[in-house]
Amino acid sequence: MVGILLLTHTPLGSAFIQAASHVFRGRPERLEAIDVIADQSIDEVNHLAREAVKRLDDGSGVLVMTDILGGTPSNCCRQLGEPDRVATIAGISMPMLLRAITYRHDNLDVVVEMALAGGQNGALRVDSRVRLSPH
């Protein structure tokens, strides 16, 4: 199962895990967050992230999801391991995370593609004039 690491500015990662735990009625396995605080040492973040990747990788790889491309959390992702074992996506959203969790029994490339599709398809304008049909 692909591990998932949320490497974000505080408190986003932990909040995403709480929300996902609510949706799935329990905390998903092999899912961790590192909430980077202001002025935290990049060396410390790199160390924490490398250790988390080691814990999360059962041989299937790890998807690292970060909030903002170019921020400290995403900059630390470049040093996390082999490209075929660790993939990184910036711009985390709830639809993206839920998709990644749902498809994580597949291979890392599929999990990445499904997460990206979830993020793209999950961003919609909601117009009060449009009636949403219940499922």
Which superfamily does 3-121 belong to? Phosphotransferase system, mannose-type IIA component (3.40.50.510)
* CA 117 from centre of chain: 13
Tell me: the pLDDT tens digits for 71-109? 888 888 777 777 789 999 999 999 999 999 999 999 999
**Cβ neighbourhood burial of 68 (10 Å; 0-12, 13-18, 19+):** middle
Per-domain residue ranges of the chain = 3-121
The pTM (predicted TM-score) of the whole model is 0.90
Tell me: the pLDDT tens digits for 6-32? 999 999 999 999 999 999 999 999 999
Residue matched to tokens 């895990």: 17
